[in-house]
Amino acid sequence: MLDLAIVVAFILYGLGSGLRARGKASQSLDEYFLAGKTIKGWRAGFSMGATQFAADTPLLVTGLVATAGIFALWRLWIYGLAFLLMAFVFAVGWRRAGVLTDAELTRVRYSGQGVTPLRLLKAIYYGTVINCVVLAMVLVAAIRIAEVFLPWHQWLPAGLYEPVVSFVASIGLQLGESITGLEPEVMTANNLISILLILAFTAMYSITGGLRAVVQTDVVQFSLAMIGTALYAWFVLDAAGGLGGLTDRIVELYGSDQASKMLSFSPPANAGEALMPFLVIVGLQWFFQMNSDGTGYLAQRSMACPTDRDARIAGLVFAWLQIFLRSLFWMAIAVGLLVLFPFTSGEASGDGFTAAREALFVQGIEDLLPPGVRGLMLVGLLAALASTVDTHLNWGASYWSNDIYGGVIAPHVLKRKPRDRELVIVARLSNVLILVIAMIIMANLGSIQTAWFISLLFGAGMGSVLVLRWLWERINLYSELTAMAVSLITAPLLLYYLGTDPEREWIRLGIMALTTTTAAILVTFITPATDDATLKRFYRRVRPFGFWGHAASLNGVGPGVSVKALGSRLFAVAVTAISLFSLLVGVGRLLFPAPDTGPLLSWICIGVGVLLIPVWLRIAMGREFDTDPEDEPAEEPAIQSHRTT
């Protein structure tokens, strides 16, 4: 009963947030998707963290630690570099550009007849294809949570439940594989009811209140999720015998060599030929990915901030919450579960092992947590799920309303300017379409890890061009079109010929990154550059960092100003990254030491991380990055409405 009360209280809060924000959200797309640019930096950072917390991510972490050890988590931690680049380099550009979506940025950044087709293509690709794949991954995690905690076949009367089972059987639907031994029809019926109720709850407040309601609930959702995760980690470690002898117990269960691999933060000594592929993957995926410059909901949060400083703070808060705080809790749970639910080498090589280990994160909640704490953790997982779903609904709808309908259909097909309330209605209706597509994809996914590998592959072709468009004036619309086209052609071919085998992932990512980047750069040099008028306007509006010599000269600014500004911001990124990763490794090694390792290196890492905190904190909180004094001669014009075409 206590668990149920906690869940009901959370649901009422979420619905109340949507109703409170409904009035302002209905006024315009700026209010609906950017909350009128009133989101403070720390709140935006918490909202980013809530979205990235995602119900599927702790399951992914549990699977990675079991299959490849802690060192494999660098695949997730390396994204800290992208988050810090967004904080110091890209967030300010997104905010100053005065756009609602990445697709709309094409209108501000490029010139030529291909701008509108590129805007439409990106809106469909990001707002529907990529967005729905990510949503489907989250829903896969949701059905694993729901199967354990929401046994509708026990709760509902037969008159209500049996028709659902009959419907499922008649269409041959199967949502995942049962982890509790239920019959396929019963398992699917339970999961279908759970998913529809969760999506209905999330959609009600996100569709009603827009980004303002999303951020309001995200702050509470992330706080609840972290409190619940911390308590879960405590109970897992307590059941495993405490932190003190954790390493010894893992050695007893798996042997010294395997324990060293499981608990190592650095490459295991016996990594051998497997090390190079892993390093290639880690080195590529953070840069060659579809969100390398913050594209998507991270950019949306930056654009919703009132000042450049708030946008920078948002990125920093997000990076530390995401990479440092939550990683320590999840590592504790994943390592503790290795002791509580041991496995043999034979099981590790069997089919379905990864999915089974991912599901243990949910099973541990049911088995180890007392009432009250279980309810809090369940709310935390539901909150993580809701915060991801609401963000992807809101973000995906922004493409459909602002770019597809407001940017293409209304002006070019209907030959008229869309009204504000009309665009908001389109935004709300498009949420339903996104949910239906995501449900269809979800029904055909296996493990979260496999789906993640595939999504990384499709995004790998776009990353370099997305970053370069902010740093190099020569990138044009044909560069982006080429990268997207080559990605859509190359990814299916790589999956067909190389499959989804994790051992070949480094080859797939390497080929994708090399092929798409090379093609995009070649096309850049053989196609017309963006015209001077567009470059001049973009530079005056955004004042970008990097290689913008020609655009700077058009505005009467010295050619070295942008390069110098980029250098100072990259220094800030480097200092903050060293501090972040040093503290993560130092604290992690102290808590979960590998066999036969001493604490000296851990304390050195902690010392370096702590000493650098005042350095990057002074840079981040200072005022020198809030304005660009050298650019003052270039007066910034009034930003046009995002609804103009």
Q: Are 50 and 387 in contact (CB under 8 A)?
A: yes
- Res 176: pLDDT: 67
- Res 434: pLDDT: 87
**163, exposed or middle or buried, with CB in 10 Å at 0-12, 13-18, 19+?**
exposed
3-state class (DSSP) for residue 393: helix
Looking at per-residue pLDDT, the higher value among 547 and 423 belongs to 547
- Res 551: pLDDT: 95
- Res 540: pLDDT: 93
Of 166-170, 321-325, 595-599, the range with the highest mean pLDDT is 321-325
Residues 6 or more apart whose Cβ sits within 8 Å of residue 11: 201
Of 3-12, 77-86, 122-131, 177-186, the range with the highest mean pLDDT is 77-86
What number is the average pLDDT over the span 563-582? 95
Exposure letters 607-633 (e unless 16+ CB within 10 A, then b): ebbeebeeebeebbeeeebeebebbee
**Number of helices followed by number of strands (H, E) in the chain:** 31, 0
Q: Are 310 and 44 in contact (CB under 8 A)?
A: yes
3-state SS of 255-305? CHHHHHHHHCCCCCCCCHHHHHHHHHHHHHHCCCCCCCCCCCHHHHHHHCC
What number is the average pLDDT over the span 32-47? 91
Q: Which pLDDT band, with edges at 50, 70 and 90, does 504 fall under?
A: confident
Of 104-108, 206-210, 291-295, the range with the highest mean pLDDT is 104-108
What number is the average pLDDT over the span 558-567? 90
Q: Which pLDDT band, with edges at 50, 70 and 90, does 57 fall under?
A: confident
- Res 642: pLDDT: 41
For the ranges 48-52, 59-63, 630-634, the lowest mean pLDDT is seen at 630-634
Q: Is the pLDDT of residue 638 over 60?
A: no
Q: What is the mean pLDDT of the chain?
A: 85
Give just the sign of the alpha carbon dihedral 300, 305, 306, 309.
negative
CA distance 352 to 342: 16
- Res 643: pLDDT: 40
Residue 412: its H or E element: none
Q: Is the pLDDT of residue 548 over 80?
A: yes
Q: Which pLDDT band, with edges at 50, 70 and 90, does 338 fall under?
A: very high
- Res 265: pLDDT: 92
Q: Is the pLDDT of residue 510 over 60?
A: yes
Q: Give the single-character DSSP code of 637.
A: P
Residue 141: its H or E element: helix 131-149
Looking at per-residue pLDDT, the higher value among 181 and 54 belongs to 181
- Res 451: pLDDT: 64
Looking at per-residue pLDDT, the higher value among 538 and 192 belongs to 538
Residue 381: its H or E element: helix 373-398
547 - beta bridge partners?
472
Q: Is the pLDDT of residue 315 over 90?
A: yes
Q: Which pLDDT band, with edges at 50, 70 and 90, does 645 fall under?
A: very low
Q: Which pLDDT band, with edges at 50, 70 and 90, does 324 fall under?
A: very high
What number is the average pLDDT over the span 43-70? 85
Looking at per-residue pLDDT, the higher value among 486 and 356 belongs to 486
Q: Is the pLDDT of residue 616 over 70?
A: yes
Q: What is the pTM of this model?
A: 0.86
CA distance 198 to 361: 20
Model confidence pLDDT, tens digit, residues 456-502: 676 667 888 999 999 999 999 999 999 988 988 888 888 888 877 77
Q: Is the pLDDT of residue 305 over 90?
A: yes
CA distance 198 to 193: 9
Q: Which residue has the tokens 């949701």?
A: 142
- Res 147: pLDDT: 79
Q: Is the pLDDT of residue 449 over 70?
A: no
Model confidence pLDDT, tens digit, residues 520-533: 999 999 999 999 99
Of 373-377, 539-543, 622-626, the range with the highest mean pLDDT is 539-543
Looking at per-residue pLDDT, the higher value among 567 and 2 belongs to 567
- Res 341: pLDDT: 92
Q: Is the pLDDT of residue 633 over 70?
A: no
Q: Which pLDDT band, with edges at 50, 70 and 90, does 272 fall under?
A: low
